[in-house]
């Protein structure tokens, strides 16, 4: 049976992805692009995006958040360096070493454990040093903490391959704090280098920092969102939306003003209306907050309003829009007429910083399909 059996699809335009990657590589002016593929590549598909990134010889390192994501990339045949950005539960450290994943060292007691695991596995453990500069999430502080880490490293240095050092900005709206974090990171790197540790790759910026503070790009930049969509409030126009989420109308009703919609009788029609039922709900990843604020969708090339949702179905006000059962509905992305409802626009309606906050929420029952 050659048919997609899902009620909705997330269609990813791979040509647009490749163009975006090429654009970002150009913007970086020789600094390394480190694609961030965490959370199923922001919902677009981990393995598919990993294979696209491997098409570019300039990309030598991929980044994910969890060991399971790194394992999935390895099982898909990805051979590039894979950096685990966050902390790893103790029982997964051995698997990470055996999979040849690069671990971020953001706590002092981790090095002796990794040295033993590397010795047991018969390999040098790849690590990057996570330097704490102000986010206060995980990392080793410059000064006494980094000095202690250097002591631990010197006692077992033959068991490690240092791949780099990194940090992360906390608040890009605070220019002075951002500058202070950058300078503290450089101090930390200089302390490591003075202690005998070579740092081949320094990176602190992600997508938004790259767009706002290109002077902080250093040796590499971690790019996630910008591979798939532009800046939400200050778009550069150099990258384009890559993903479209689409479903279909499964029912149409004409209802009188005052008619209630959905569970609980909390939503009432203000006028005589045509209401469409569409085949997705919050169980598919549709934001309930977006429905509450009656956010837009595209029907027949026009904007319609979300009205009420359940786990598997949602009601849409399509009054005045010519449509029928079976017609497509675009929740974000490009419709069949070429109109764009940007995920960034939709995200801002529900308090998300970026459209990738929407794509990452899409459940496994949304089929991912890829155009060549």
Do 260 and 206 have their domain in common? no
> Does the structure show a pLDDT above 80 at 1?
no
Q: For 72-109, write each residue's pLDDT tens digit.
A: 999 999 999 999 999 999 999 999 999 999 999 999 99
Closest CA to 63 of 222, 227, 229: 222
Q: For 177-205, write each residue's pLDDT tens digit.
A: 999 999 999 999 999 999 999 999 999 99
The pLDDT of 252-280, averaged and rounded, is 96
Does 364 reside within a domain? Answer: no
Q: For 331-347, write each residue's pLDDT tens digit.
A: 999 999 999 999 999 99
Do 200 and 250 have their domain in common? no
For the whole prediction, is pTM greater than 0.85? yes
Does 350 reside within a domain? Answer: no
Six-digit token string for 103:
């671990």
Does 5 reside within a domain? Answer: no
> Does the structure show a pLDDT above 80 at 37?
yes
Q: What's the total number of domains in the chain?
A: 2
Does 235 reside within a domain? Answer: no
Residue 129: strand, helix, or coil: strand
Are 42 and 228 contacting, i.e. CB atoms less than 8 angstroms apart? Answer: yes
Are 168 and 204 contacting, i.e. CB atoms less than 8 angstroms apart? Answer: yes
Does 267 reside within a domain? Answer: yes
Do 200 and 294 have their domain in common? no
Are 148 and 108 contacting, i.e. CB atoms less than 8 angstroms apart? Answer: yes
Average predicted confidence (pLDDT) for the chain: 96
**For residues 335-369, b (16+ Cβ closer than 10 Å) or e, as one string?**
beeeeebbbbebbeebebebbbbbbbbbeeebebe
User: Which CATH number belongs to the domain containing residue 250 in this structure?
Assistant: 2.40.37.10
User: Which CATH number belongs to the domain containing residue 118 in this structure?
Assistant: 3.20.20.10
Do 139 and 210 have their domain in common? yes
Domain holding 273, by residue range, is 243-341
How far is the C-alpha of 355 from the C-alpha of 344, rounded, in Å? 4
Do 203 and 310 have their domain in common? no
Paired strand residues for 267: 261
Do 94 and 53 have their domain in common? yes
CA angle, corner 209, sides to 206 and 211, nearest 5? 110
Does 329 reside within a domain? Answer: yes
The last residue of one of the domains, among 175, 197, 227, is 227
Do 213 and 286 have their domain in common? no
Does 76 reside within a domain? Answer: yes
3-state secondary structure 288-356: HHHHHCCCEEEECCEEEEEEEECCCCEEEECCCCCCCCCCEEEEEEECCCCCEECHHHHHHHCCCCCCH
Does 316 reside within a domain? Answer: yes
């Amino acid at each position: 049976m050659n048919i997609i059996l899902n009620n909705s699809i997330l269609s990813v335009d791979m040509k647009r992805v490749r163009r975006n990657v090429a654009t970002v590589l150009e913007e970086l002016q020789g600094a390394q692009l480190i694609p961030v593929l965490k959370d199923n590549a922001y919902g677009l598909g981990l393995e598919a995006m990993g294979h696209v990134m491997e098409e570019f010889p300039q990309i030598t390192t991929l980044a994910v958040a969890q060991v399971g994501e790194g394992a999935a990339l390895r099982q898909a045949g990805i051979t590039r360096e894979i950096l685990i950005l966050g902390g790893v539960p103790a029982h997964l450290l051995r698997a990470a070493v055996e999979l040849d994943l690069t671990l971020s060292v953001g706590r002092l007691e981790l090095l002796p454990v990794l040295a033993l695991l590397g010795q047991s596995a018969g390999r040098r453990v790849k690590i990057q040093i996570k330097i704490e500069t102000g986010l206060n999430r995980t990392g080793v502080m410059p000064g006494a903490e980094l000095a202690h880490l250097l002591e631990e490293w010197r006692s077992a240095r033959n068991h490690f391959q240092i791949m780099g050092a990194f940090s992360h900005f906390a608040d890009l709206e605070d220019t002075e704090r951002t500058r202070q974090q950058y300078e503290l990171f450089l101090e930390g790197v200089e302390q490591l280098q003075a202690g005998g540790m070579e740092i081949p790759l320094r990176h602190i910026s992600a997508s938004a920092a790259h767009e706002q503070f290109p002077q902080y790009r250093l040796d590499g930049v971690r790019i996630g969102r910008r591979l798939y969509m532009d800046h939400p409030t200050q778009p550069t126009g150099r990258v384009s939306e890559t993903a479209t989420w689409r479903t279909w109308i499964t029912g149409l009703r004409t209802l009188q003003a005052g008619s209630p919609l959905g569970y609980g009788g909390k939503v009432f029609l203000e006028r005589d209306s045509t209401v469409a039922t569409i085949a997705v709900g919050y169980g598919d990843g549709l934001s309930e907050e977006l429905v509450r604020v009656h956010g837009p969708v595209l029907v027949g090339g026009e904007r319609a309003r979300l009205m009420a949702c359940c786990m598997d179905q949602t009601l849409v006000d399509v009054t005045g829009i010519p449509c029928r059962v079976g017609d497509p509905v675009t929740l974000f992305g490009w419709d069949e007429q070429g109109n764009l409802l940007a995920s960034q626009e939709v995200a801002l309606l529900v308090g998300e910083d970026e459209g990738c906050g929407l794509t990452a929420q899409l459940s496994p029952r949304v089929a991912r399909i890829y155009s060549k």
